[in-house]
Amino acid sequence: MSEKKPSRPPMDHVEFRKIGKETVDYIADYLETVQTRPVYPGVQPGYLRRLIPAEAPQDPETWEDVFADVERVIMPGVTHWHSPDFHAYFAPGNSYPSQLGDMLCNALGCVGFSWAASPACTELETVVLDWLGKMLQLPEHLLAGTAGAGGGVIQGTASEAILVALLSARTKVIQREREADPESSDHDVMKKLVAYSSDQAHSCVDKAAMIAAVKLRKLPTDSDFALRGTTLSAAMEEDKANGLIPFFSCATLGTTPSCAFDKLLEIGPVCCEENMWLHIDAAYAGSAFICPEYRPLLDGVEFADSFNLNPHKWLRVNFDCSTMWVRNRADVVDAFNVDPLYLRHDNQGLVTDYRHWQIPLGRRFRSLKLWFVLRMFGVKGLQQYIRKHVSLAKEFESLVLSDDRFEVSAKVVMGLVCFRLKGPNNLSERLLQKINETRKIFMVPAKLRDTYVIRFAICAATTESSDIVHAWNIIREQADEILTGVKNGI
């Protein structure tokens, strides 16, 4: 460590201007050259503890000392999500307008739990969610600037959006059941509640049901991994016959394992008929609905009580930004309204207080980055980005189909291709392990029923056709080695 000790606060305005600009340069250099780094780190668990002291320093350190540790300590353990060689999970959002929005959000540092806590924070969020809602052609009743009772909110993650929807639905059904039977208690109702999703839904639906202490039935899907209306209604009839109360259904548009689309136009009417809350989780694929050619996949959204998508996945917005719309804001506010004196203000009741729409009290000014992105890309720029990702996925699909040792395991609709080596699962398991060990590209697997598949997701904003060819060459080389080994009995 250097001997220099700053005697004043760690950084004043003058130093911040200089160092801040240098840090922006470092960030731009990092993103510009990210592909020169191995996409997956080569470190072992616990690597970091050995590189830094066991305790925080008593005396201040200099920025030079701190910043040097970014390359020494941090970078060796970073998985480079924005590298064109990253093909795991789903696309992570990133763009400079979004990063600037987050910088400004941090600088303003307001904690916009109520309108009064920072009016711009609340008002921009409401308006920008209407903008995005209109880009998605959402029904008017989900928007705030209409005569309807709905509106949009930014949650941190899809997991939170789904939990908020589930808890709101639970509160609503408990009220309804207790009005019908005033002798009953919350507990009497809760133990009968049952929620539904497909067996392809994200694990955050299981987690939400766990937290809400309600049963969740994960229903089987059709040959395209989509939940059908008949499956849902048969399950509900069975549960009702057993004295249970179906109250919530989560449909997924763009499932995590294979990007499948539940049949909303079948599920919607079933939920409506049963007076059951319908939530739509379109965490990844939802962004694509800004393109008219993909919008039909959202048909049936008019049946939904709530809907979420993650601009922090596929709309150039950095984590965290999960947009959620609800049909009736009172349903959410009823479930989350606590109102101590110290949080009240003069305009209470006349304006939106987003603290009643979410689990935590505090909230960041996240709409700034979304606003910057929508304005600086424009709808056309964002459509172009989505279309490019889908066409790169189609290109990869063609390469897989051109090699008869491989098969494509699910329909390719968006920027995800599920593929595998023909034959037993362990071949594809070994293939993925060998590929990831090269640290040249990074992918993750999924199970589609009993079939092990490798997920190839188009992730980085800078991915080009040459990166698809590069990835395919690595996959083929590793497959050659495995299949030669199998032939030779190794």
Residue partners of 342: CB distance under 8 A and separation at least 6: none
CB-wise, 126 or 252, nearer to ligand PLP? 252
Q: Can you tell me whether residue 308 is helix, strand or coil? A: strand
CB-wise, 192 or 312, nearer to ligand PLP? 312
Residue 204 found at the interface with ligand PLP (CB under 6 A): yes
**How many residues of this chain bind ligand PLP (CB under 6 A)?**
15
Alpha carbon separation from 233 to 216, 236, 276, 310 (Å, rounded): 15, 5, 11, 29
Helical (H) or strand (E) element with 238: helix 229-241
CA of residue 95 relative to chain centroid, distance: 16
Residue 206 found at the interface with ligand PLP (CB under 6 A): no
Q: Hey, what amino acid is at 400?
A: V
Q: How far apart are CA 438 and CA 246, in angstroms?
A: 48
- Options 196, 284, 406, 419; binder of ligand PLP; rule CB under 6 A: 284
Residue 81 found at the interface with ligand PLP (CB under 6 A): no
Residue partners of 271: CB distance under 8 A and separation at least 6: 232, 249, 277, 278, 303
Neighbours of 41 (CB within 10 A): 16
Q: Taking CB under 6 A as the rule, which mask of x and - marks residues 427-456 in contact with ligand PLP?
A: ------------------------------
Q: Taking CB under 6 A as the rule, which mask of x and - marks residues 289-318 in contact with ligand PLP?
A: ---------------------x--------
- Options 102, 125, 177, 281; binder of ligand PLP; rule CB under 6 A: 281
CB-wise, 204 or 226, nearer to ligand PLP? 204
Q: What phi and psi, each to the nearest 5 degrees, are found at residue 6?
A: -65, 135
CB-wise, 192 or 218, nearer to ligand PLP? 218
Residue 157 found at the interface with ligand PLP (CB under 6 A): yes
Q: What phi and psi, each to the nearest 5 degrees, are found at residue 400?
A: -65, -45
CB-wise, 192 or 366, nearer to ligand PLP? 366
Relative orientation angle of helices 329-336 and 158-180, to the nearest 10 degrees: 90
Query: Residue 176 Cβ, how far from ligand PLP at the closest point, in Å?
Result: 28
CB-wise, 114 or 323, nearer to ligand PLP? 323
Whether the Cβ atoms of residue 157 and residue 320 lie closer than 8 Å to each other: yes
- What is the DSSP secondary-structure string of 253-304? BS-TTT--B--HHHHHHHHHHTT-EEEEE-TTGGGGGGSTTTGGGGTTGGG-
Query: Residue 70 Cβ, how far from ligand PLP at the closest point, in Å?
Result: 25
Q: Taking CB under 6 A as the rule, which mask of x and - marks residues 107-146 in contact with ligand PLP?
A: ----------------------------------------
Residue 252 found at the interface with ligand PLP (CB under 6 A): yes
Residue 99 found at the interface with ligand PLP (CB under 6 A): no
Candidates 32-40, 167-175, 254-262, 426-434: pick the segment binding ligand PLP (CB under 6 A): 254-262
Query: Residue 323 Cβ, how far from ligand PLP at the closest point, in Å?
Result: 11
Whether the Cβ atoms of residue 244 and residue 274 lie closer than 8 Å to each other: no
CA of residue 208 relative to chain centroid, distance: 15
Residue 287 found at the interface with ligand PLP (CB under 6 A): no
Chain residues in the site for ligand PLP (CB under 6 A): 90, 157-159, 202, 204, 252, 254-256, 281, 283-284, 310, 322
